[in-house]
Amino acid sequence: MKILITGGAGFIGSHVVRLFAKKYSNYQIYNLDKLTYAGNLENLSDLQSFKNYSFIKGDITDETFINKLFLEHKFDSVIHLAAESHVDRSITDPLAFAKTNILGTMILLNAFKNIWNGQWENKLFYHVSTDEVYGSLGTTGLFEETTSYDPNSPYSASKASSDHFVRAYGETYGIPYVISNCSNNYGANQFPEKLIPLFINNIIQNKSLPVYGDGNYTRDWLYVIDHAIAIDLVFHKGKNHETYNIGGFNEWKNLDLVKLLCQNMDTKLGRPLGASEKLITFIKDRPGHDLRYAIDASKINKELGWKPTVTFEEGLSKTINWYLENTIWLNNVTSGEYLKYYKNMYLNS
């Protein structure tokens, strides 16, 4: 089986590529990635000698290139993760999100449709999506697979649109597909623009911790390896044309999470307890900020037997350790362009 994994040099993609390459030596894994600021081949340096793994540098929005690639390799399946993924960037550059997340997904769907042309046996298009497509919850309730889409940010609107196109290609052309919508991930190799790695990096550097609004926003956090395990299960056992919600059963208000992170970092860095909390700074809220995300993951639990294997305590500790041990990775990704981004995002606002 030839599997194309898009966005495999990114955060979640790299964990999915590693899991598949190590677990399935009989599959050929092709990792297609444009290597944007968020893509980093260092994330996969341990797979260099794997015979069942290859990397292809390319852009999913380049239709000619994608069509040629599919004709050349005739991928049996696609696991599609490539995306622009950061809400704050989608607020400053929404068109980039429409291009990559909507058009890029359509170009992949089209190429897949054209090479198999109705011969769908043992073929699958797996679209990896987010819980943010459902919009915001109030203080109660959970997102179910049947919850109406109600996206609020350009990022979530672009992901919602891409989900709709995957379904439309399934209904219209018969493409076999599965979609999963997952909650916030954390773990090793996450680019330090998202809450947890950004704050770990800032604590290391004694820089302020910019909490949006009053910090009373809630997210449901899942350790990235547990997401990769869920993707493996959905890929192999998920029902055709179905959606699966994936979540951590692990809701945290931002401010509580940041305080926990500060305490952990103080202990690990040998700083007096309370030192990192002093870095918390409340800043202007994100426009369109969703109050609360929380997933009902009972469908994937009942149908496929999935549940998280790592507790938040363990996962957070492993994540902090990874960043403390991988200072070269952290320094490499936080030099150059990152400094410009950080200045525009936080220091000019």
Beta bridge partners of 54: 30
Q: Which residue has the tokens 């069942």?
A: 52
Q: Which of residues 160-219 bind ligand NAD (CB under 6 A)?
A: 182, 184-185, 191
Least distance to ligand TYD from the beta carbon of 184, Å? 5
Give the Å distances, CA to CA, from 252 to 21, 187, 208, 289. Answer: 33, 16, 21, 16
Q: Provide the pairing of β-strand 177-182 with 242-246.
A: parallel
Transcribe 301-333 into DSSP letters.
Answer: HHHH-----S-HHHHHHHHHHHHHH-HHHHHHH
Q: List CB contacts of 285: < 8 A, sequence separation 6 or more.
A: 212, 213
* Residues 31-90 contacting ligand NAD, CB under 6 A: 33-36, 38-39, 59-61, 81-85
State the residues that interact with ligand TYD by CB under 6 A. 87, 184, 194-195, 198, 210-212, 217, 219, 254, 286
DSSP string, 236-288: HHPPTTEEEEE--S-EEEHHHHHHHHHHHHHHHHTPPTTTTGGGEEEEPPPTT
Which of the choices ligand TYD, ligand NAD, none does residue 137 contact, using the CB cut-off of 5 to 8 A by kind? none
CB of 185 to ligand NAD, least distance (A): 4
Q: How far is the CB of 212 from ligand TYD (least distance, A)?
A: 4
In the residue annotation, 46 being an active-site residue is answered as no
Q: Is 63 a catalytic residue?
A: no
> Do 337 and 193 form a contact (C-beta atoms < 8 A)?
no
State which residue, 100 or 264, has the beta carbon closest to ligand NAD: 100
Task: Give the whole-angstrom CA distance, residue 206 versus residue 231.
Answer: 36
Q: Which does 254 bind (CB under 5 to 8 A by kind): ligand TYD, ligand NAD, none?
A: ligand TYD
Least distance (Å) between residue 249 CB and ligand TYD: 17
DSSP output for 118-154? T--TT-EEEEEEEGGGG--B-SS--B-TTSPP---SH
Q: Please report how close the Cβ of residue 206 comes to ligand NAD at its closest, in angstroms.
A: 26
Q: Catalytic residue, from 53, 126, 134, 155: name it.
A: 155
Are 13 and 81 in contact by the 8 Å Cβ rule? The answer is: yes
| Pairing mode of beta strands 28-33, 2-6 | parallel
How many binding residues for ligand NAD (CB under 6 A)? Answer: 30
- What is the number of the residue whose Cβ is closest to ligand NAD? 10
The one of ligand NAD, ligand TYD, none whose footprint includes residue 175, by CB under 5 to 8 A per kind, is: none
Q: How far is the CB of 81 from ligand NAD (least distance, A)?
A: 4
Question: For residue 209, what are the contacts with CB-CB under 8 A and spacing of at least 6?
Answer: 199, 202, 203, 258, 262, 276, 279, 280, 281
Binding to ligand NAD by CB under 6 A, coded x per residue (else -) over 134-163, reads: -------------------------x----
Q: Which of 31, 77, 90, 100 binds ligand NAD (CB under 6 A)?
A: 100
- Is 93 catalytic? The answer is no
Residues that bind ligand NAD (CB under 6 A): 6-7, 9-13, 33-36, 38-39, 59-61, 81-85, 100, 104, 128, 130, 159, 182, 184-185, 191
Residues with a catalytic annotation lie at: 131-132, 155
